[in-house]
Amino acid sequence: MQPPRQAVSRRPWQRYLAEFIGTFAIVFVACGAVISDAASGGAVTLLGIALAPGLMVLAMIYALGPVCAAHFNPAVTIGFAVSRRFPWRHVAPYILAQVGGALLASALHLLLYGRDVAMPVSFGAHIPRVAAPQAIGFEIVFGFFLMFVIMAVATDKRVSAPVPGLAIGLTVALAIMFGGPISGRVHEPRPQPCAGRVRGRRGTGFPAHLHRQPDRWCGDRGAGLRSAARWVAARAVRAGGSGVTARSRTPLRSPTS
């Protein structure tokens, strides 16, 4: 993520396109790693499944951060909007771009891997291995970690430019390594309904498996909102009590024109 001055001149459609491309790349790699692992009999391994999206998140933040602030996740977009670091009028277009990128990625999985390979693993979509309450608990914890790291490294002017991408990418990878075997954690809420929609039910295109997704969406949204609220409160206390000014060094506020 880059300083605000590098993103202010971007037009809205450029930001939305960047969100679309970044989300597409992350979903294509994240869910594709799961499909490839199943197709190869486990050759990718859990480490590969975790590192693939983590490294792609890192790359997309560096590549597209100056353009769109590199949200690539509805939970991140909503979290920054709630914390008043992102304009609400851009929330819906950002989320539409993110969902569109995820849909395209899942459609390409269907085309490239084939239905017989992709369907047995639900196109790389998360399938919890525990009961719904437990899955929601894990998702809340991991979602909180992700949003806390993002809010910390992307809004503190004392953090050097190369740090946010590395910190966020590693958080994604570590969360998948730990939570993947339990809640099927992909650490991103966007791919799941998209994969189900592409897969369809009996080939009709009806969103199958959406009934399995409340744990992911509830967990990520709840964690995102809580992280945003706590971070805003902490920054307010710091700014008021210690004389430190809570200024932003990130383009997360940039789409204001």
The type of residue at 118 is: A
Residue 102: what pLDDT? 94
Taking the C-alpha atoms of residue 135 and residue 120, their distance in angstroms, rounded to an integer, is 21
Pick the closest to residue 101 from 79, 73, 62 (CA basis): 73
What mean pLDDT do residues 42-46 have?
91
Q: Among 9-23, 40-54, 242-256, which stretch is predicted with the lowest mean pLDDT? A: 242-256
Tell me what pLDDT residue 15 has. Answer: 94
pLDDT in the model for residue 57 = 94
pTM of the entire predicted model: 0.73
CATH of region 4-253, choose from 1.10.3720.10, 1.20.1080.10, 2.40.50.60, 1.10.150.120: 1.20.1080.10
Q: Is the pLDDT of residue 250 over 70?
A: no
- Residue 31 has a pLDDT of 92
What pLDDT, on the 0 to 100 scale, is given for residue 185?
54
Residue 232 structure tokens: 């805003």
pLDDT in tens, 140-186: 888 888 888 888 887 777 777 788 889 999 999 998 888 777 766 54
Could you report the per-residue pLDDT of 118-130, keeping only the tens digit for each? 888 888 876 677 7
Domain positions in the chain are: 4-253
Distances (CA, A) of 146 to 36, 68, 124, 200, 239: 25, 19, 21, 30, 24
pLDDT tens digits along 2-12? 443 344 447 89
Please report, for residues 81, 139, 173, the alpha-carbon distance to residue 145 in angstroms, rounded to integers and kept in the order given: 18, 10, 12
pLDDT at 55 over 90: yes
- Please tell me the distance from the alpha carbon of residue 221 to that of residue 91, in angstroms, as a whole number: 14
pLDDT of residue 204: 38
pLDDT surpasses 80 at 73: yes
- For position 131, what pLDDT does the model report? 78
pLDDT at 142: 84
Share of the chain above pLDDT 90, in %: 35
